[in-house]
A and B are shown apart, each in its own frame.
Chain A
Amino acid sequence: MNINSHLWLAVFYLLTLMLTQSTAQADETCMSPYMAKIVGQEDFVYIWTRGMPGIGDEQDKLVTVDVNPESPNYKKVVHSVSVGGRNEAHHSGLTDDRQYLWASGLDTSKVFIFDIHTDPARPKLEKTITDFVKTSGGVVGPHTNYALPGRMMLTALSNNRDHGGRTALVEYTNAGQFVATHWMPTDDNLQGAVKSGNYADGYGYDIRALPRRNVMITSSFTGWNNYMMDLGKLMADGEAMKRFGNTVVVWDLHTRKPKQVLDVPGAPLEIRCAWGAMHDWCFTSTALTSKLWLIHEDNKGEWHAKEVADIGDADKIPLPVDISIAADDSLLWVDTWNDGMVHLYDISDPFNPQEILTEKIGEQLNMLSQSWDGTRVYFTSSLLANWDKKEAANGGDLQFFKAYSWDGNKLKHEFTIDFLEEKLGSPHQMRFGAYSLY
């Protein structure tokens, strides 16, 4: 396919950026280092959307929104493919060659693999992995679908024995063939890891890799019992509230063996690692204790976790969820779900982040994705089926996709798609697509 030059879109591989200190480009957020990138205007945002009873066909679906201002379909939902059933649609990820989008279901543990290269405007469900639990040896709740060379590493949240938080990483080939299960380290089997603090809970959530340091970093949320539970019921259940993760694990990327278990209390969720060649650190935020944490390596190769900033008022449990780092490592966006706010931190000194912007985006706010150059920021609202708000306090929109532009100083609202009005469901994770990749 010819490159459409007026879209000035191109692909290149992360390594180029990772090692280029002079780069001023920002991040097409949080992609795997192994992934081809869209550095210009993306054509589409693929939104993995949870089906809701009483809304449209009530099923989970991959919704494609045209976000290219040059397109006649700009601001429109151009395609939607329903997958059958509600699976607790949550996270999705692209293969390293960006041919396929993997979208997983936290409830049914199904993984849906969409062909996004044949027609980027019309993703096609190519394969569904239905035997994830059985094949993995009892892992439940596939979450992050993270690209490694020629394969996908899936984090998970639970297991089929007790529906608690002990879980594993599960590795598949790009073709959807099971490779291995890597259990999270637990006290009775640290697998050679050093327990740096008091905790080794064996919980999982997100994953990122820093290939040049040969590490993978994982975080920890909670098991099926809790992430599927009604939030009000959960908050009222003192026993259940103890079942959240308090750990970040540093793994040897090459051997897939855990090296260090770090204490990060209060459910550390998304992980975003720096791109700069000398920046051996990643950020995470804790959902329950509302803190930003820096996971950093010292000059002896030891990793540490340090609490570096508050996010909102912890006493009100604002519930920080998605975070997104700029590719020049200067800024970090943080969404807080409960109050619908986005917070922007200047992280030029990662040990001392400064909050420089706080803005209300909606009634509830979960995921955010920014374009490679950082000028476009997209938001979605939904967290989990039984955690999401049932009504908007002030009549605001409850389930939405919102597009903003960012000029370095302020956010400007470009457009909103109301996912309830469009009878789609609850929008969760966003991934970008572009014709020029193929």
Chain B
Amino acid sequence: MPVIIREQRSAVLVWLLAALFAVSVHAEHASHRQEPDQVLAPGYGPLNFTAPEAGSYQLPPLGAAADGILLDSLGTRLHLSDLYGDRFVVLSFIYTSCSDANGCPLATYVLSQAQKRLSREPDLIDEVRLISVSFDPLNDTPPVMRDYRSRFSRAAIDWHFLTAESAAGLAPLLTAYGQVLKKDYDAEGNFTGSFSHILRVYLIDRSARIRNIYSVSFLHADTLVNDIKTLLLSEALPEASAPASSSLQGPGDNKQGYEGAGYTTRSKSLPSRQGKPADLMQVVHNPPLGLPPVPVPEDNLITPARVQLGRKLFYDRRLSHNSTISCAMCHVPEQGFTVNEMATAVGIEGRSVRRNAPTIYNSAYETRIFRDGRETSLEQQVWGPLLAANEMGNPSVGYVVEQLQQLADYKGLFEGAFNGRGPGMETIGMALASYERTLVSANSAFDRWYFGKQEDALTAAAKRGFRLFDGKAGCSRCHSIGARHALFTDNGMHNTGIGYQATFDTPSTRTVPVAPGESVTVATAMPGKPGDLGRYEVTQDPADRWKYKTPSLRNVALTQPYMHDGSISSLREVVEFYNTGGVAHRNLDPLIGPLSLASDEMDDLVAFLVSLTGDNTDLIVADAFAAPVGDP
């Protein structure tokens, strides 16, 4: 019992003939004349919704409209493309003996309705051409098509009824227009003369590009005519461009206040994430107030070509084994060159990284790199993530070098930057390090007040915070401030107890946000979570257990979440953590102990920390937005 709608063709045919020939029958009424069990396509009735206004939308090109040799209804050979170019074309594929109401007759009916509508619009009459091509050339000879045409083409609209010399000759054209035909057979295996096919009508522009495709559920004169008008209007309109984003810093998807039921999104569109290239060399030659000269190794002198190459590499996702991770996926420019959106990083194939991605702002000044300080130069550090199985996952140095040798958009860039040397273990590191070295940021409100002696540069709260920072709270004992500049780090290794606690004291339950203002408490289960012993993993000295590098505090307001494992979300909570004296245990750094800060003192400390944001972060981030993102 094949349930094919065509089985009901006799009843449909009666209706169809009425619909097609009784042009005086209004579409609204036509649908009432169907057989009770027969459902007709929307194209036969009034549209069930208001057709979108012409010109209020775009119809992007759907590829080139293919060409083929056909016969017109006089039997003259022509190229289909001869009918493209001067007008918009509505192209349908039919066969004249088709009796499926929702097949070719639907197409012809809608085209005839469109013909009527268009002929009433003087501006459109000479802009449009209708074409009906038979895919049954055996039966639909030119005289048959001529006869068929006389039944429909009656108005001022140009309507062509075409066929072909042979089915074989037509086949490539049908394939190009996605007209998959299947002959219908009866129970004895005899061809019934009908075809199963998917109805498609094409709208083609004056550059012979397909601009819309209509099928049974979709084809309607209202939308078709509006689409034609839309194309006509779009010829005169410039392309709209996305508005540029106003603020550059912070995740584009702001989740502040998510814990509260009153949370509202403040999401930014990605197309508006547009930037502007900056002269990055400028900051290297003239470091901002508060920072010493940018250290540049003698064997990797910084040049614009190296910086530009490093910048290109930094944002290139093809630098990972499966082309999904660039350096910038874990050091997102607008997220403080770290990731604000998770505690510890995620690498290739989603593999877990144990530690929070550190910011690379001011990494030029770091004497020890990575949270455990295991690397000693930026040039060398680069290869850590590139080769780590849970970060960028490359199988070898040679693999990365070969990839870069093969990428066309890198052709000549290494050679130009490194006196003829191509991509290699050294030059890749040197280029990336050169870019990183330019991400220098200071001249913050604090710098202008402290080093620049501008009294009004800093708020009163931040000034009070500074005095606590450098006094009662003792923060500057590790987050150092010098006489002429401040790195806010001693480049040393300290144990705050966070790592110790993670090792021995994991909570058994955890409150997990599931929606804004909504959370559930679940059992904590992290089977196979790797341990983390900090600096000890480098030195194997038991005294170094759970020690991690002191991070600089410059731009710290941009780099949440905090600590080596991203376990603290806000600056206020960090201050509270230190106020309680860290996590007490035998190896706790002796510099850490309870601080007895009052709540408003902690507010002042936060105000001070926020004042450490450099004044050139927008410049750096805008430059980063302007960098090309490398993708396969």
Interface residues of A (CB under 8 A from B): 1-3, 5, 8-16, 18-20, 22, 33-34, 36, 39, 85-88, 96-97, 99, 107-109, 117, 130-131, 133-134, 137-138, 140, 149-151, 159-166, 168, 171, 173-175, 177, 179-180, 183, 186-189, 198-202, 211-214, 224-230, 232-233, 235-244, 246, 252, 254-257, 265-266, 286, 288-289, 301, 314-317, 385-386, 390, 438
B198 touches A239 (CB 8 A): no
B258 (CB) vs chain A CBs: closest residue? A242
Q: Taking the nearest CB of chain A, how far is it from the CB of B390, in angstroms? A: 11
Query: A183-B269, A188-B269, A202-B269 given as contacts; is B631 within 8 A of A386 (CB)?
Result: no
Question: In the bound complex, what is the Cα–Cα distance between A34 and B558 (angstroms)?
Answer: 48
Question: In the bound complex, what is the Cα–Cα distance between A407 and B567 (angstroms)?
Answer: 52
Q: Which residues of the partner chain A approach B180 to less than 8 Å between Cβ atoms?
A: 97, 99, 117
Interface residues of B (CB under 8 A from A): 1-5, 37, 39-42, 48-49, 51-52, 56-58, 60-63, 102, 178, 180, 182, 185, 187, 189, 196, 198, 200, 213-218, 223, 242-243, 245-246, 251-253, 255, 258, 262-273, 317, 322-324, 329, 332, 334-335, 339-344, 346, 349-352, 510-516, 518, 520-522, 524-529, 561, 566, 569, 629, 631-632
Q: B322 is contacted by which of A107, A163, A177 (Cβ under 8 Å)?
A: A107
Q: Taking the nearest CB of chain A, how far is it from the CB of B80, in angstroms? A: 17
B61 touches A236 (CB 8 A): no
* Binding site secondary structure of chain B: loop
Query: A150-B62, A213-B49, A228-B349 given as contacts; is B529 within 8 A of A36 (CB)?
Result: no
Question: In the bound complex, what is the Cα–Cα distance between A331 and B535 (angstroms)?
Answer: 59
Question: In the bound complex, what is the Cα–Cα distance between A315 and B511 (angstroms)?
Answer: 11
Query: A137-B271, A186-B269, A289-B515 given as contacts; is B102 within 8 A of A15 (CB)?
Result: yes
Q: Taking the nearest CB of chain B, how far is it from the CB of A221, in angstroms? A: 13
Query: A166-B270, A187-B266 given as contacts; is B3 within 8 A of A12 (CB)?
Result: yes
**Could you give 20 example pairs across A and B, Cβ below 8 Å?**
A5-B187, A34-B218, A107-B324, A134-B632, A150-B200, A166-B252, A180-B58, A183-B269, A187-B268, A189-B242, A201-B265, A211-B42, A235-B525, A240-B342, A242-B255, A242-B258, A265-B516, A288-B515, A385-B349, A385-B350
Question: In the bound complex, what is the Cα–Cα distance between A230 and B343 (angstroms)?
Answer: 13
Question: In the bound complex, what is the Cα–Cα distance between A236 and B39 (angstroms)?
Answer: 54
A229 touches B269 (CB 8 A): no
B350 touches A237 (CB 8 A): no
B335 (CB) vs chain A CBs: closest residue? A162
B52 (CB) vs chain A CBs: closest residue? A255
A197 (CB) vs chain B CBs: closest residue? B264
Q: Taking the nearest CB of chain B, how far is it from the CB of A26, in angstroms? A: 13
A253 (CB) vs chain B CBs: closest residue? B218
B525 (CB) vs chain A CBs: closest residue? A232
Query: A150-B178, A151-B213, A239-B341 given as contacts; is B524 within 8 A of A187 (CB)?
Result: no
Closest 7 CB pairs of A and B: A228-B350, A255-B57, A150-B213, A265-B515, A149-B215, A288-B514, A232-B526
Q: A225 is contacted by which of B242, B243, B342 (Cβ under 8 Å)?
A: B342
Q: Which residues of the partner chain A approach B513 to less than 8 Å between Cβ atoms?
A: 238, 241-242
Besides A133-B631, A239-B342, 15 other A-B contacts (C-beta < 8 A): A1-B182, A11-B4, A86-B349, A107-B324, A134-B631, A151-B213, A162-B341, A180-B60, A183-B271, A200-B265, A212-B48, A214-B52, A232-B526, A246-B516, A317-B514
A13 touches B102 (CB 8 A): yes
B342 (CB) vs chain A CBs: closest residue? A240
B39 touches A97 (CB 8 A): no
B255 touches A243 (CB 8 A): yes
Q: Which residues of the partner chain A approach B58 to less than 8 Å between Cβ atoms?
A: 180, 255
A237 touches B198 (CB 8 A): no
A131 touches B631 (CB 8 A): yes
A22 touches B518 (CB 8 A): no
A240 touches B341 (CB 8 A): yes
Q: Which of B196, B266, B513, B515 has the most CB of A within 10 A?
A: B515
Query: A15-B102, A16-B39, A241-B513 given as contacts; is B215 within 8 A of A96 (CB)?
Result: yes
B243 touches A12 (CB 8 A): no
Q: Which residues of the partner chain B approach A246 to less than 8 Å between Cβ atoms?
A: 265, 515-516
Q: Which residues of the partner chain B approach A255 to less than 8 Å between Cβ atoms?
A: 52, 56-58
Query: A11-B196, A162-B332 given as contacts; is B264 within 8 A of A198 (CB)?
Result: yes
Query: A33-B217, A36-B198, A39-B3 given as contacts; is B629 within 8 A of A189 (CB)?
Result: no
A131 (CB) vs chain B CBs: closest residue? B632
Q: Which residues of the partner chain B approach A390 to less than 8 Å between Cβ atoms?
A: 527-528
A165 (CB) vs chain B CBs: closest residue? B253
Q: Which of B213, B334, B511, B569 has the most CB of A within 10 A?
A: B213
Question: In the bound complex, what is the Cα–Cα distance between A108 and B258 (angstroms)?
Answer: 30
B255 touches A2 (CB 8 A): no
Query: A18-B217, A86-B349, A257-B57 given as contacts; is B273 within 8 A of A161 (CB)?
Result: yes
Q: Which residues of the partner chain B approach A229 to less than 8 Å between Cβ atoms?
A: 342, 346, 350, 352
Question: In the bound complex, what is the Cα–Cα distance between A393 and B615 (angstroms)?
Answer: 55
B48 touches A239 (CB 8 A): no
Question: In the bound complex, what is the Cα–Cα distance between A187 and B265 (angstroms)?
Answer: 7
Q: Taking the nearest CB of chain A, how far is it from the CB of B342, in angstroms? A: 4
Q: Which residues of the partner chain A approach B263 to less than 8 Å between Cβ atoms?
A: 198
Q: Which residues of the partner chain A approach B41 to less than 8 Å between Cβ atoms?
A: 15
Question: In the bound complex, what is the Cα–Cα distance between A171 and B212 (angstroms)?
Answer: 12
Q: B2 is contacted by which of A8, A130, A227 (Cβ under 8 Å)?
A: A8
Q: A107 is contacted by which of B3, B57, B341, B350 (Cβ under 8 Å)?
A: B350
B632 touches A252 (CB 8 A): no
A200 (CB) vs chain B CBs: closest residue? B265
B200 touches A188 (CB 8 A): no
Question: In the bound complex, what is the Cα–Cα distance between A242 and B569 (angstroms)?
Answer: 12
Question: In the bound complex, what is the Cα–Cα distance between A242 and B561 (angstroms)?
Answer: 13
Q: Which residues of the partner chain A approach B251 to less than 8 Å between Cβ atoms?
A: 162, 164
Question: In the bound complex, what is the Cα–Cα distance between A109 and B515 (angstroms)?
Answer: 27
Query: A131-B631, A187-B265 given as contacts; is B271 within 8 A of A254 (CB)?
Result: no
Query: A96-B198, A230-B352 given as contacts; is B189 within 8 A of A2 (CB)?
Result: yes
B266 touches A314 (CB 8 A): no
Query: A238-B512, A256-B57 given as contacts; is B3 within 8 A of A10 (CB)?
Result: yes
B1 touches A8 (CB 8 A): yes
Question: In the bound complex, what is the Cα–Cα distance between A214 and B516 (angstroms)?
Answer: 31
B347 (CB) vs chain A CBs: closest residue? A228
A164 (CB) vs chain B CBs: closest residue? B253
Question: In the bound complex, what is the Cα–Cα distance between A85 and B393 (angstroms)?
Answer: 13
Q: Which residues of the partner chain A approach B526 to less than 8 Å between Cβ atoms?
A: 230, 232-233, 236
Query: A2-B189, A11-B4, A239-B342 given as contacts; is B272 within 8 A of A188 (CB)?
Result: yes
B7 (CB) vs chain A CBs: closest residue? A10
B219 (CB) vs chain A CBs: closest residue? A149
A252 touches B332 (CB 8 A): no
Q: Taking the nearest CB of chain A, how far is it from the CB of B557, in angstroms? A: 16
